[in-house]
Amino acid sequence: MRRILEKFVEYFDDIYGDRDEKFLEADGRRYFMLFLKPIINGTGNYYIEARTRNDEQTDMIIDYLGQQYIIEMKIWHGNAYNERGEKQLSDYLEYYHVDKGYMLSFNFNKNKKIGVKEVVLGEKLLIEAVV
């Protein structure tokens, strides 16, 4: 999944890197799904806005080759907002008994740093991609 995010960051920046703030989180989800669908076609499934038993809503869950990947998507609104997203993802990972999760942030600041990095939050490993 990390490699998929790395390639998505590269392609998204090449094609849509000059978009502005009118971009919605749902737009990002659609672009990512268009990128992802041919990869998992026939060997996996994805679920959009799946609800947990405690009525929280995950952005995307991917089941692929026996693995489950939890993905949180955000539009960048600053560090504090990003940290809340990391905590939210960590809580989902705890709920699903998974140690690694993925966050995809759509950042439209002129001085943004695109790429993929690892963040450790407690006992959870978060792979964060910024486009």
pTM listed for this prediction: 0.83
Query: What is the structure's pLDDT at 23?
Result: 64
What is the number of domains present in the chain?
A: 1
- Compute CA 11 distance to the chain's CA centroid, rounded to the nearest angstrom: 15
| Residue 40: CB atoms within 10 Å | 17
As a whole number of angstroms, the distance between CA 38 and CA 56 comes to 28
CATH number of the domain that residue 93 is part of: 3.40.1350
- CA atoms 116, 120, 34, 42: torsion sign: positive
Range of the domain at 38: 2-130
What the block records as the tokens of 62 is: 């991917």
DSSP-assigned letter for residue 52: P
Specify the long-range contacts of residues 55-61, CB closer than 8 Å, at least 24 apart.
56/91, 56/92, 56/95, 58/92, 59/25, 59/29, 60/29, 60/32, 60/33, 61/96
Query: What is the structure's pLDDT at 55?
Result: 75
The values of phi and psi at residue 42, to 5°, are 85, -15
Q: How high is the mean pLDDT in each 10-residue block of the chain (131 residues)? A: 89 70 71 88 85 80 93 90 94 94 89 92 96 88
